[in-house]
Amino acid sequence: MIFANYDFIDGALSKDGALFTNFVILLGIGLVVTLIPTLYALYLFVGFKKSEGKKFLSKPWFAGILIAEVLSIIFCCLGWMFFFGEFILGTGSEAGNKAFTLVLTFTILTYVTAVGWYAILLFWAHYIWIQIEENQIVTISSTIKKEKIVKVIKDENKGKVYINFTESKTSLKKLSFRIGSTMTQFIIENLSASGIKVEVGNQEEFYQNKVVELKSVPAEKLRTAASKKDDSKAKPKSESAKTESEPKTKTEPETKTSEDTEK
């Protein structure tokens, strides 16, 4: 790629006389994976602002992810601009080489920034905002029904507050918040006000024991069901065996008397 001949054909960056399709694919995917999630996140934010209930927005986290999203879109747009940059850079191999360098740089920056805020949304989305409603807790990435909350633990050794909740009958999940933050204080106050007790304890010990307990419940149910099934199969057999063991009584034919014959 370094020794290729870059130029513009019909206003678009070309390599050795042909359209540089690799950049078209990369920039096209980059625009999709940055623009659509950003618009969806803004849609969720508008819904969060309009919704009722007690809510908390972490301005530093929100500003950070919004800036990262906007930057990734800007980098992608700049990549497209220099891909069709003949009107800016002119023609010839020198302009083509310069365009290639710029397009490559902005394509890399697009994906680097996108990976950064994707990671935030995947692992730390609950730090951006939280809303405590009457029946549920809502973050940008999850909705937790209050009846699904198993226990809220304040682990002072780890310096975090954990909301433990069941996602299914055998799956235990958790959200963690740093003790001392304004958001954590908001969570503790409002959960306590809604009747959910925040207990001081050891999160790791509780989590391990609860996972074992949840996984053992289905196994116990299966064993009980199998035992009932075996009992139901054994019962008819024992009854049939009992019937076979009983002696059969023969009915003797009635003997007619002479009086009956005469009649």
**Segment 122-132, tens digit of pLDDT:** 999 999 999 99
Residue that terminates a domain, selected from 210, 226, 242: 210
Mean pLDDT of 9-22: 84
Amino acid (one-letter) located at 197: K
Residue 255 lies in a domain: no
Residue 243 lies in a domain: no
Top pLDDT among 172 and 233 is at 172
43, 80: one domain = yes
CA pair distance 132, 53, nearest whole angstrom: 6
pLDDT surpassing 90 at residue 153: yes
pLDDT of res. 187: 94
Share of the chain above pLDDT 70, in %: 81
88, 181: one domain = no
CA torsion 82-84-87-88 (nearest 10°) is 0
Q: Quick one: which H or E segment has residue 163?
A: strand 160-166
Which residues is 56 bridged to in the sheet? Answer: 130
Residue 202 lies in a domain: yes
pLDDT surpassing 90 at residue 226: no
Pick from 16-30, 98-112, 247-261: least confident = 247-261
Residue that terminates a domain, selected from 168, 184, 210: 210
Mean pLDDT of 227-256: 51
pLDDT of res. 232: 59
What's the structural domain count of the chain?
A: 2
Q: Which two tokens stand for residue 44?
A: 């969720």
pLDDT confidence bin for 253, thresholds 50/70/90? very low
CA torsion 20-22-26-28 (nearest 10°) is 60
11, 123: one domain = yes
Pick from 65-69, 89-93, 143-147, 205-209: least confident = 89-93
pLDDT surpassing 60 at residue 257: no
Nearest to 244 by CA among 236, 253, 256: 236
CA pair distance 175, 173, nearest whole angstrom: 7
116, 50: one domain = yes
pLDDT confidence bin for 107, thresholds 50/70/90? very high
152, 197: one domain = yes
3-class SS at 49? helix
Q: Cα angle at 39 between 35 and 42, to 5 degrees? A: 140
Top pLDDT among 258 and 105 is at 105
Average pLDDT, the chain: 84
**Distant-in-sequence, close-in-space partners of 82: CB < 8 Å, separation ≥ 6:** 13, 88, 89, 99, 102, 103, 106
Q: Which two tokens stand for residue 21?
A: 């399709």
106, 165: one domain = no
pLDDT of res. 250: 45
Residue 216 lies in a domain: no
pLDDT confidence bin for 9, thresholds 50/70/90? confident
pLDDT surpassing 70 at residue 39: yes
123, 190: one domain = no
122, 14: one domain = yes
87, 152: one domain = no
111, 165: one domain = no
| Structural domain span for residue 28 | 6-127
